[in-house]
Amino acid sequence: MGDQVSCVLKNVTLPDGRVTDLTLGGGRVLHAGAPGRAEEVIDAAGLVCVPAAVDMHTHLRGGGQRQKEDWRSGTTSALFGGVTVVVDQPNTVPPLTTPGAFAARVREAEEEAVCAFGINGGVVPGADLAGLWRAGALAFGEIFAGPSSYGAAVPPETLREAFISLRALGALATVHAEDPLPGTPADLPDHDRLRPALTEAEAVRAVCALLPPGGRVHFCHMSTAAAVDAACGTVEATPHHLFLSWERFDRDDTRARVNPPLRTERERKALWSRWERIDAVASDHAPHTAAEKGAPFPDAPSGMPGVETMLPLLMAEVFAGRITLESVIEKTSSNPARILGIPKAGFEPGDRADFALYPRETVQIDPDALHTKCRWTPFEGMAAVFPEIVVMGGRCAVRDGDLLSCRGEWIRGKGYYPRGAQ
């Protein structure tokens, strides 16, 4: 072991039931077995150790939207939920459609983030896709094939041209596929009616028809079984579409307004039936202040926080015996890393040394205990298991409710070309 050892995780129970010690150093797993000497030793006995999550769909706000969330609060929230990598979407204010705007976003994140982060490039008419790729965009989108908060729909011809350009670059396109009906929703069932399940699936098929051979597409936040079935690329689902239906809320509860909308309880259960087809679970963390959400339903913004509760909700399902731990690791850690083309976290030598250690204790979600700036959650009172310890880059980042000294690292896309390079 030539690398300097930073930490040893002792008595780690692996997903297959074996117990071992993990030696960490240089941000990687160095060895599984007899431990070496380390600056820090963490005893994982009695805890469930899983590779930390990659949340490939977050909106960290910041900039002119700092009242909703900033990089410090959003990435702190991520760490306390067992997420060590977040991917920020480009429908910021201003949107990330030029290398200059992208570089400014990176600088802001580097100053404030406490977990690792990637940033996607924006796709709108006139966006400098090649320049964004060279600037370090991890992927492109979410590209709005249907309008949503802070994002207008991209015309089909623009989308087709973007797919061709991104294929040439070797870049991944991530798509928000909806085709809303005209009108302003009066309440939650009306929101579901105006953004129906049928047109979501039709929008997915339309996007697939535009994708050239060899193009790569990832569908964001699929909310219906029909949309999952229609997808031609990789598929993402969110905890709010898996765990919530509009029928669980008062009709005018704006906290539950989100795009795509929450569906009926029957549709929610149908989405769960596609668990094996879903490649990734991501939060679509999109916080708004309580005051903003307090507007009358037609005027209230769509979106909800979720990065801190994503893994805890899924871990509660694991402990209840409804899904397997292996499937959660696959959909929140290894698959997102594979889709994005970044090193995966795991237990093998060379894997990224990012882990979340969970107690075998279920609690109810309390919004006052969360770390997002917006201080509310649609999952209030639901069963969850929060990590006691989070390890990032081979060092302890969260322990016993405390955020330890840590700093986020920018994960650059494969097209990154540093300024001044010849």
Do residues 145 and 113 touch, judged by C-beta distance below 8 A? no
CA distance 303 to 375: 14
229-266 CB burial, b ≥16 within 10 A, e <16? ebbebbbbbbbbbbbbbbbebeeebbbbbbbbbbbeee
CA distance 156 to 146: 10
Has residue 421 got a pLDDT over 90? no
Q: State yes or no: 166 annotated in a binding site.
A: no
Q: What is the pLDDT of residue 151?
A: 59
Q: Is the pLDDT of residue 149 over 70?
A: no
Choosing from 88, 284, 351, 354, which is the catalytic residue? 284
Q: Is the pLDDT score of 38 beyond 90?
A: no
Q: Using one digit for the tens of pLDDT, what is the confidence trace for 198-226? A: 999 999 999 999 999 999 999 999 999 99
- Assign 145 a pLDDT band (cuts: 50, 70, 90): confident
Query: Longest C-alpha distance within the chain, in Å?
Result: 64
Q: How far apart are CA 124 and CA 159, in angstroms?
A: 8
150 half-sphere exposure, CB direction, 13 A CA radius: 22
* pTM, entire model: 0.96
Respond yes or no: is residue 284 known to be catalytic: yes
Query: Is 66 known as a binding-site position?
Result: no
Residue for token digits 């882990």?
355
Angle between helix 71-80 and 99-112 (nearest 10): 60
Q: Which helix (H) or strand (E) holds 217?
A: strand 217-219
> What per-residue confidence (pLDDT) applies to 401?
94
DSSP at 209: H
User: 422 pLDDT band (50/70/90 cuts)?
Assistant: very low
**Phi-psi map region of 82: left, alpha, beta (phi>0 left; psi -120 to 50 alpha):** left
Determine how β-strand 48-51 pairs with β-strand 355-358.
antiparallel
- Neighbouring C-alpha atoms within 13 Å toward the C-beta of 210: 24
Contact 173, 218 (CB under 8 A): yes
Q: Give the Cα separation of 74 and 53 in Å (integer).
A: 15
Q: What is the pLDDT of residue 313?
A: 98
Residue 284 is labelled as binding a ligand: yes
pLDDT of residue 1: 42
Average of per-residue pLDDT values in the chain: 95
What are the boundaries of each domain within the chain?
7-48+348-403, 53-340
Tell me the per-residue pLDDT of 364-409, one tens digit each, with 9 for 90 and over.
999 999 999 999 999 999 999 999 999 999 999 999 999 998 999 9
288 is in an annotated binding site: yes
Q: Lowest mean pLDDT: which of 4-13, 66-75, 104-113, 343-352? A: 4-13
Q: 7-48+348-403 belongs to which CATH class?
A: mainly beta
Q: What is the DSSP string of 64-101?
A: TBTTT--HHHHHHHHHHTTEEEEEE-S--SS-S-SHHH
Is 285 marked as a binding-site residue? no
Position 361 pLDDT exceeds 60:
yes
Asked if pLDDT for residue 150 goes beyond 60, the answer is: no
Q: Is 218 annotated as a binding residue?
A: no
- Listed as own residue / partner, the contacts of 361-364 with beta carbons closer than 8 Å and 24 or more positions apart are 361/385, 362/316, 362/319
Average pLDDT over residues 339-351: 97
The pLDDT confidence band at residue 148, using thresholds 50, 70 and 90, is low
Spatial distance between the Cα atoms of 324 and 328, rounded to a whole number of angstroms? 7
Please state the length of the chain. Answer: 422
Whose tokens are 């990789």? That residue is 234
Question: Which is more confident, 391 or 13?
Answer: 391
Q: Are 114 and 79 in contact (CB under 8 A)?
A: yes
The sheet that has 7-13: what strands, in order across it?
Answer: 28-32, 19-25, 7-13, 40-43
Contact by Cβ (8 Å): 151, 120:
no
Which helix (H) or strand (E) segment is 48 a member of?
strand 48-51
31: annotated binding-site residue?
A: no
Of the pLDDT bands very low, low, confident and very high (cuts 50, 70, 90), residue 7 is very high
Taking only the tens place, the pLDDT of each residue in 305-316 is 999 999 999 999
Is residue 241 marked as binding? no
- The arrangement of secondary structure in 53-340, i.e. its CATH architecture, is Alpha-Beta Barrel (3.20)
Residue matched to tokens 């994708």: 211
pLDDT of residue 230 exceeding 50, the answer is yes
Q: Is the dihedral of CA 291, 295, 297, 302 positive or negative?
A: negative
Q: What is the pLDDT of residues 257-299, one digit of tens each?
A: 999 999 999 999 999 999 999 999 999 999 999 999 999 999 9
Q: What is the mean pLDDT of residues 113-123?
A: 98
